[in-house]
Chains A and B, each alone.
Chain A
């Protein structure tokens, strides 16, 4: 009984956030959503979800804080090194044949993956003909991504990741240390456009050769996953590539037949059919 009321309160909260601010979390995977809402209540000293909902409706800055808390921005550089190695070995040679390249990095969080990708493109000699669109709906995270300043103590792990990912130079050449921070080289973000984009409510990005969206779909329920996958399908050029997180797949989705797996383990897919728009 108690949980039923809790579920109603969660529904009301999600509805309020959507109606009032246009952020649609109604189709996010429920169990982790519930956990995060409960955490928020505790953190902000509320007794009931409904009490928080009513404050959210009347206070936009509080809402933004909650949304940013809500979105899980856990990430790292060269996360899953074998993914980057296979991207380098299997996909980059293909991209090299294009006169110019457009890449969409969706759900880039605080940007660590974007700088990783930029390094890879530099080392393969195609950075200069590439434009990267790096998007997320979390404005705070995007700001960090834009600045490209990270904690120095993480660089050790990232260096190991970089080497495992088949890095060709010295990772230390890509940032300089200042106090406890690592400041990423400006040359890496030259061709990157950071932009706010909500995968649930915003529309397509056209003519992409490669879309990376890793560890984002995992938070969506099946219906929303299908919707976002069609958005990617429509945004890709013919034979464009799609890279997902290591626990995500196109298999069992409604787009299963529109893509073929290039690397099953590392979740790299290629579009084989034209989307019917």
Chain B
């Protein structure tokens, strides 16, 4: 699957990532590979239990050279930061590149929902957005990927063959709006390491 990836990270401003069951390992591998001078902001919805404490942040912070934090209400998005949706809140991007939270109903049985983050980020960043769907056991993110594509952004799904839970990336692929299907290593080597 080592095809030439025609994607230049310099043309983008933000990466949104959606990940569910089995995500801890995949995500930490991906995030740990981001270099300290990474020029894009990264915003993540990971489905966690609603009573999850800040433990997961410590865990990621230990492994990453970038600053990992939980998104706060009205916070301005900065390049090179990694933001997580807080457990039990939806996370949205405003057009002026700030983050807002909401406690709206669950979407796809989830709060935070990947779709909600992706749709609002697609509106705010349009063709400067990359959406990535990793392992998971539901179909949250399908609608979000469709809209990212529709607004001119770029879409990547983790190769279901290697994903811990293939349902979520497969379901995104089935929408017919995925630009690239890559393994984690391909994402890291082809995309992230190559940007320099």
User: Are the chains A and B members of one assembly?
Assistant: yes
Contact residues of A with B, CB < 8 Å?
Answer: 3, 29-32, 34-36, 72, 74, 215, 218-219, 222, 245, 247-249, 252
Q: CB distance B94 to A29 under 8 Å?
A: yes
Other than the given A31-B100, A32-B102, A36-B104, 15 more pairs (CB < 8 A) read A3-B123, A29-B94, A31-B93, A32-B104, A34-B120, A35-B104, A74-B104, A74-B105, A218-B73, A218-B102, A218-B103, A219-B102, A222-B74, A247-B101, A249-B73
Give Cα A99 to B102, complex, Å: 38
CB-defined contacts of A32 to chain B, threshold 8 Å: 90, 92, 100, 102, 104
B81-99 residues at the A interface, CB under 8 angstroms: 86, 89-90, 92-95
CB-defined contacts of B72 to chain A, threshold 8 Å: 247
Partner among A3, A35, A247 whose Cβ is within 8 Å of the Cβ of B116: A35
Partner among B73, B105, B123, B126 whose Cβ is within 8 Å of the Cβ of A31: B123
Q: CB distance A35 to B120 under 8 Å?
A: yes
Partner among A30, A34, A72, A247 whose Cβ is within 8 Å of the Cβ of B105: A72
Residue-wise interface mask of B (92-133) relative to A, using a CB-CB cutoff of 8 A (1 in contact, 0 not) = 111100001111110000000000100110011010000000
17 contacts between A and B (CB under 8 A): A29-B100, A29-B102, A30-B94, A31-B93, A31-B100, A31-B124, A32-B92, A32-B104, A35-B92, A35-B104, A35-B119, A36-B104, A74-B105, A215-B103, A218-B101, A245-B103, A247-B72
CB-defined contacts of B105 to chain A, threshold 8 Å: 72, 74
Q: Which 8 A-B pairs have the closest CB atoms?
A: A31-B92, A31-B120, A32-B102, A29-B100, A31-B94, A72-B104, A247-B101, A74-B103
Taking the nearest CB of chain A, how far is it from the CB of B167, in angstroms?
25
B50-102 residues at the A interface, CB under 8 angstroms: 72-74, 86, 89-90, 92-95, 100-102
Taking the nearest CB of chain A, how far is it from the CB of B75, in angstroms?
10
Q: CB distance B86 to A247 under 8 Å?
A: yes
Give Cα A35 to B103, complex, Å: 13
CB-defined contacts of B104 to chain A, threshold 8 Å: 32, 35-36, 72, 74
Give Cα A219 to B100, complex, Å: 9
CB-defined contacts of B119 to chain A, threshold 8 Å: 35
Interface residue tally on B, bucketed by range:
20 to 34
Taking the nearest CB of chain B, how far is it from the CB of A162, in angstroms?
16
Give Cα A247 to B103, complex, Å: 10
Taking the nearest CB of chain A, how far is it from the CB of B11, in angstroms?
20
CB-defined contacts of B73 to chain A, threshold 8 Å: 218, 247-249
Q: Which residue of A lies closest to B123 (CB)?
A: A3
Q: CB distance A34 to B102 under 8 Å?
A: no
CB-defined contacts of B93 to chain A, threshold 8 Å: 31
Q: Which residue of A lies closest to B121 (CB)?
A: A31
Give Cα A34 to B104, complex, Å: 13
CB-defined contacts of A249 to chain B, threshold 8 Å: 73
Give Cα A74 to B100, complex, Å: 17
CB-defined contacts of B89 to chain A, threshold 8 Å: 247
Q: CB distance A34 to B123 under 8 Å?
A: yes
Give Cα A240 to B92, complex, Å: 33
Taking the nearest CB of chain A, how far is it from the CB of B58, in angstroms?
17
CB-defined contacts of A34 to chain B, threshold 8 Å: 120, 123
Taking the nearest CB of chain B, how far is it from the CB of A69, in angstroms?
11
Q: Which residue of A lies closest to B106 (CB)?
A: A74
Give Cα A30 to B119, complex, Å: 13
B126-168 residues at the A interface, CB under 8 angstroms: 126, 151
Taking the nearest CB of chain B, how far is it from the CB of A218, in angstroms?
6
Give Cα A233 to B119, complex, Å: 36
Taking the nearest CB of chain A, how far is it from the CB of B158, in angstroms?
26
Q: Which residue of B lies closest to A222 (CB)?
A: B74
Taking the nearest CB of chain B, how far is it from the CB of A138, in angstroms?
14
Q: CB distance B94 to A72 under 8 Å?
A: no
Taking the nearest CB of chain B, how far is it from the CB of A43, in angstroms?
13
CB-defined contacts of A248 to chain B, threshold 8 Å: 73
CB-defined contacts of B151 to chain A, threshold 8 Å: 3
Q: Which residue of A lies closest to B90 (CB)?
A: A32
Give Cα A42 to B47, complex, Å: 26
Taking the nearest CB of chain B, how far is it from the CB of A224, in angstroms?
12
CB-defined contacts of A215 to chain B, threshold 8 Å: 103
Q: Which residue of A lies closest to B151 (CB)?
A: A3
CB-defined contacts of B86 to chain A, threshold 8 Å: 247
Q: Which residue of B lies closest to A225 (CB)?
A: B74
